[in-house]
């Protein structure tokens, strides 16, 4: 029974079938076909594989069985159910355990009633990011920060306003790059709004870094070599934490495999670095 359960959840399309039926309490074959955009044969093949998790009622519609409901609840709950058995072993490692501990799972993968808290938290983070970027006179490019445009900030009022709100522009830019890659490369069109609402959460570690950096700057501690090195190391650690939050967000909201989510994080992150390096030259 258990092996069937994991086998059934071991395929993205089967997980999506469970989710569609679970979200709507039932689903017709036509609705499934419209939502999944795959051939009739493929759907029948996966419905067969899900025989213990779903059942067809007298009205010909598909419903979740008790085991199917359990699978649906598990899929809603956490990341561990949308990654393979192979990855589960790896998720018990100290590094990933610590990263998962530091991940605000309930805010990123929020349920219906908690949407408002995610929105409030996200707006709060954006405002904090904006404030700390301006206090540090830093200009954000994806997850990097530079002071290259410090001289331009005094140029004229419109340019000044543009630089002051660039944290929010950067947030939207980063979101759209991720969304476009998910749609074009991985054909993942779902949960765009949920992804957007929880997207600012990935900046949460970098905002902590900006706050610490501001503290160092205000206390003139950055002149000390130890503090300067510590500041650099903190930036690296907080960036890696932010990249993990992006990866987690892509996994739970875009239903990407952990490897694919990491590829997106990696490519965009180093792309951002290339831009900042080119600008500095």
User: 3-state class of 62 per DSSP?
Assistant: strand
Among 239, 246, 248, 268, binds other proteins (CB under 8 A): 239
Question: Read out DSSP for 123-178?
Answer: HHHHHHHHHHHHHHT-EEETTEEE-TTTTGGGS-HHHHHHHHTHHHHHHHHHHHHH
Give the one residue of 25, 48, 220, 223 binding other proteins; rule: CB under 8 A.
223
Which CB sits closer to other proteins, 196 or 240?
A: 240
Long-range contacts at 26-33 (CB < 8 A, ≥ 24 apart): 26/57, 26/61, 26/62, 26/63, 27/61, 27/62, 28/60, 28/61, 28/62, 29/60, 29/62, 32/62
Triad 75, 176, 181: Cα angle to 5°? 65
User: Counting contacts by CB under 8 A, is residue 151 touching other proteins?
Assistant: no
Task: Give the up-direction half-sphere exposure of residue 59: CA atoms within 13 A in the CB hemisphere.
Answer: 6
Q: What Rg, from alpha-carbon coordinates, does the chain have?
A: 22
Contact of 142 with 169, CB cutoff 8 Å: no
Regarding 172 and contact with other proteins (CB under 8 A), the answer is no
By CB under 8 A, tell whether 202 contacts other proteins.
no
Only one of the segments 12-20, 100-108, 123-131, 255-263 lies at the binding site for other proteins (rule: CB under 8 A); that segment is: 255-263
Among the residue ranges 104-112, 151-159, 212-220, 271-279, the one whose residues contact other proteins (CB under 8 A): 271-279
Pick the binder of other proteins from 8, 53, 54, 99 (CB under 8 A).
99
Nearer to other proteins, 86 or 101 (CB): 86
Q: How far is the CB of 265 from other proteins (least distance, A)?
A: 9
Whichever of 87 and 134 has its CB closer to other proteins, that residue is 87
Measured from the CB atom, the residue of 219 and 277 that comes closer to other proteins is 277
Work out which of 60, 66, 86, 113 binds other proteins, going by CB under 8 A: 86
The answer to the question of residue 232 lying near other proteins (CB under 8 A) is yes
Supply angle C-alpha 236, 239, 240, rounded to 5. Answer: 90
Distance CA 179, CA 195 (A): 8
Query: Whose Cβ is closer to other proteins: residue 152's or residue 277's?
Result: 277
Note whether 180 binds other proteins by CB under 8 A. Answer: no
Tell me, by CB under 8 A, how many residues bind other proteins: 36
With contact defined as beta carbons under 8 Å apart, do 57 and 25 qualify? Answer: no
What are φ and ψ of residue 82, in 5° steps? -110, 15
133: contact with other proteins by CB under 8 A: no
- Which residues sit at the interface with other proteins, rule CB under 8 A? 84, 86-87, 89-90, 93, 95-96, 99, 223-225, 228-229, 232, 235-237, 239-240, 243-244, 257-260, 262-263, 266, 269-270, 273, 276-277, 280-281
């Amino acid at each position: 029974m258990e092996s069937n359960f994991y086998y059934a959840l071991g395929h993205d399309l089967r997980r999506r079938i469970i989710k569609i039926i679970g979200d709507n309490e039932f689903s017709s074959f036509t609705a499934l076909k419209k939502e999944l955009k795959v051939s009739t044969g493929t759907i029948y093949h996966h419905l067969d594989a899900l025989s213990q998790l779903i059942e067809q009622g007298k009205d010909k519609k598909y419903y979740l069985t008790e085991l199917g409901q359990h699978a649906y609840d598990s899929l809603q709950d956490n990341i561990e159910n949308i990654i393979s058995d192979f990855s589960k072993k790896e998720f018990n490692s100290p590094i990933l355990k610590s990263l998962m501990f530091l991940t605000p799972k309930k805010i990123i993968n929020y349920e219906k009633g908690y949407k408002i808290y995610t929105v409030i938290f996200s707006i709060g983070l954006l405002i904090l990011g904006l404030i700390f970027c301006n206090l540090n006179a830093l200009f954000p490019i994806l997850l990097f920060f530079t002071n290259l445009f410090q001289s331009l900030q005094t140029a004229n009022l419109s340019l000044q306003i543009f630089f002051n709100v660039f944290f929010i522009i950067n947030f939207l830019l980063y979101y759209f790059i991720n969304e476009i890659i998910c749609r074009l490369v991985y054909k993942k069109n779902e949960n765009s709004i949920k992804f957007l609402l929880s997207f600012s959460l990935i900046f949460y570690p970098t905002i902590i870094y900006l706050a610490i950096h501001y503290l160092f700057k205000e206390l003139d501690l950055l002149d000390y070599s130890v503090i300067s090195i510590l500041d650099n190391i903190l930036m690296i650690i907080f960036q890696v934490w932010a990249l993990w939050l992006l990866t987690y967000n892509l996994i739970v909201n875009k239903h990407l495999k952990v490897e694919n989510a990491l590829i997106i994080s990696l490519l965009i992150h180093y792309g951002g670095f290339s831009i900042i390096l080119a600008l500095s030259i």
